[in-house]
Amino acid sequence: MLLRHHVFVCTNARAEGGRPSCGARRSEAVLEALTNEILRRGLGADVAITHSGCLGPCWDGPNVVVYPDGVFYTGVNPDDAAAIADHLAGGEPVARLLRTR
């Protein structure tokens, strides 16, 4: 099987009071929404979506990385699933979610 994309959603969770985490900002809901959108579009054979540990820029999360494109999305919420799925279906990356720093 040849995947077109592999998507990593940071679901790392930390206790409140220190460095923020994607898990504390509902990244599990992002992963679920993205998975549902990919399956709804029949792209399940082309796109793998998996949890990941911390990707680095915790203050900007929830964070999502798309390979092989090397696209890094920040501040993702479940409502962004359709836009990201458009990218995964062959469209352009979602400019408003691109990590810029």
Half-sphere exposure of 95 (CA within 13 A, CB side): 0
* Residue 47 · residue 37 · CB < 8 Å: no
- Name residues contacting ligand FES, limited to 1-60 (CB under 6 A): 10, 12, 21-22, 54-58
For residue 64, state whether it binds ligand FES (rule: CB under 6 A).
Answer: no
Q: How far is the CB of 93 from ligand FES (least distance, A)?
A: 18
Number of residues that bind ligand FES (CB under 6 A): 11
Nearer to ligand FES, 14 or 41 (CB): 14
Query: For residue 29, how many C-alpha atoms fall within 13 Å in the half-sphere facing its CB?
Result: 11
